[in-house]
A and B are shown apart, each in its own frame.
Chain A
Amino acid sequence: MNMSLDSILLVEDDKINALTFKKGLSRVSNDIELIIIETAENALEFLRKEDNLPSIIVLDLNLPKMNGIEFLAIIKKDTSLKSIPVIVLTTSANPLNKIDCFNLQVAGYFVKPLDYFELIESIFGYWKKSEFVHSVKQSH
């Protein structure tokens, strides 16, 4: 069965940013399910109890309590979650964060400009062409 991009988990605590993301994504497709979770702790809890994993995780780095890099380290150590590609969408151009994230196997690292509709469109234009292993439409 071919699986394509059909669901995104966005881990983002800022409501305005989440809304911008949603609008940008709607220009790519209306068939992609978007799950927005505001903290890394809740995102982990969701992923661990969920049978249907998202195609991809989009991660902000500056999150309350557990930050994005800590979250990433946990995901990549978890054998049932590590196959989900994680991309970082952040305001942080800090080169140390960038290196940490690539060492933790991110599949893209994007520094957000103020207006980023087009960025979202380009990112998911790419992922729409990729195959995936997880799908919300997959029956278990």
Chain B
Amino acid sequence: MKNNRPILLVEDDKIDAMTVKRAMKDLKITNLLAHVYNGLEALDYLKNLNNEKPCIILLDLNMPKMNGIELLKNLKKDESFKKIPVVVLTTSNAEKDKTESFNLSIAGYMLKPVDYKQFVDVIKDINLYWTISEIPD
């Protein structure tokens, strides 16, 4: 990543979260991975001033309590959160999810590959992209 701020992963599935963590380790990505389990926890994380603001948010869509689309709506209404780039990382191939996500100006919609090597490739491309792109301070 462009800077060393944490990556916020919003993901209710423990296995998927472990896969992201493992891929980051394999790719030697040194940013801290802050993992929360749903949209509500993500908002709590972001509002807590003790937490460093993330460089990007990796967002799953299907989650309990507050799902990814609801979280996106909340983020985009907030002056200080709306500029954080959000990349959707999901198994949902539903047209509705894609349309709603893009209407909320996400910065990429990646389908989670089942195969680990392909999963690593996705994380690798996300990391490279957000290393060459500027990231808001």
Contacts and interface: CB of A to CB of B under 8 A. Distances in A.
Interface of A: 1-2, 76, 82-85, 87, 95, 98-99, 102-103, 105-111, 119, 122-123, 125-127, 129-133
Interface stretch (B3-11, B63-71, B95-103): B95-103
14 contacts: A95-B137, A98-B134, A99-B83, A102-B85, A107-B108, A108-B85, A108-B129, A110-B134, A122-B129, A122-B132, A129-B121, A130-B109, A131-B98, A131-B109
B136 A102 contact: yes
A20 to B, nearest CB: 16
Given A129-B110, A131-B109, A132-B102, A109 B134 contact: yes
Contacts of B85: 102, 107-108
Contacts of A107: 85, 105-108
A127 B105 contact: no
B111 interface: yes
Nearest to A3: B98
Contacts of A98: 134, 136
B108 A83 contact: no
Contacts of B103: 82-83
A122 B128 contact: yes
Contacts, number: 81
Contacts of B107: 85, 106-108
A126 B125 CA distance: 5
A103 B83 contact: yes
B105 A85 contact: yes
B83 to A, nearest CB: 4
A73 to B, nearest CB: 13
Contact of A133 (B76, B102, B108, B111): B102
Nearest to A116: B132
Interface residues of B, number: 28
Shortest 4 CB-CB contacts between residues of A and residues of B: A105-B105, A107-B107, A102-B83, A126-B129
Given A83-B102, A130-B108, A132-B109, A99 B129 contact: no
B132 A123 contact: yes
B133 interface: yes
Contacts of A87: 133
A97 B95 CA distance: 33
B102 A126 contact: no
A119 B132 contact: yes
Contacts of B106: 85, 107
A95 B136 CA distance: 9
Residue picked from B85, B95, B108, B109, most chain A C-beta under 10 Å: B108
A49 B129 CA distance: 32
